[in-house]
């Protein structure tokens, strides 16, 4: 009898763990225009790989794919080659992928030396809390990706690993025909 109970408990733990893993690694998104301002995103100081402070204001008026990531996050690192390919494919259509790292600058610089990407990478400035940067990320999940239209409105957000197909479905309606 005790063996049967133990067996069912083990099966229950495995099923619950599997469900949590599937939910964590499956992208979820919120569709529609979000009712928050991205102005703080465009004005927040970020550090570029050369160590200089910059804002994202230079990218206003473009379609943006803003990806929040960290070096310690395996799904974040896994999606970077696809984000690079997407950036290169759509750069001529005024679409820019921007990566914003949410961890230590040294770890980011080190990773970029061994795994370069084709899109701009920025790091949260340690002097600001970064709260402006986690726009509508109520789940605290990484990777977290925002699709921002030319008017600066977030039209979609994705929790978890993203792929090129999902990105294309999000931006193709925003491109001129």
CA distances from 63 to 94, 112, 172 (A): 6, 24, 10
State residue 103's pLDDT score. 86
- pLDDT reading at 168 higher than 50: yes
Is omega for the bond preceding 143 within 30 degrees of 0, making it cis? Answer: yes
Q: Does domain 29-174 have CATH number 3.40.30.10?
A: yes
- What is the 8-class DSSP label of residue 149? -
- pLDDT confidence tier of residue 41, bands split at 50, 70 and 90: confident
């Amino acid at each position: 009898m005790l063996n049967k109970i133990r067996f069912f408990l083990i099966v229950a733990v495995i099923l619950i763990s599997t469900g949590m893993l599937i939910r964590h690694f499956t992208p979820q998104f919120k569709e529609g225009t979000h009712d928050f301002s991205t102005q703080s995103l465009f004005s927040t100081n970020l550090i570029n790989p050369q160590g200089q402070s910059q804002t994202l204001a230079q990218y206003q008026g473009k379609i943006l794919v803003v990806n929040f990531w960290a070096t310690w996050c395996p799904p974040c690192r896994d999606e970077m080659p696809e984000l690079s390919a997407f950036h290169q494919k759509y750069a001529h259509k005024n679409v820019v992928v921007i990566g914003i790292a949410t961890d230590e600058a040294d770890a980011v610089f080190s990773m970029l030396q061994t795994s370069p990407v084709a899109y701009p990478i920025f790091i949260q400035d340690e002097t600001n809390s970064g709260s402006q940067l986690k726009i509508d990320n109520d789940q605290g999940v990484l990777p977290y990706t925002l699709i921002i239209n030319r008017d600066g409105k977030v039209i979609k957000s994705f929790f978890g690993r993203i792929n090129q197909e999902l990105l294309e479905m999000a931006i193709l309606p925003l491109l001129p025909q």
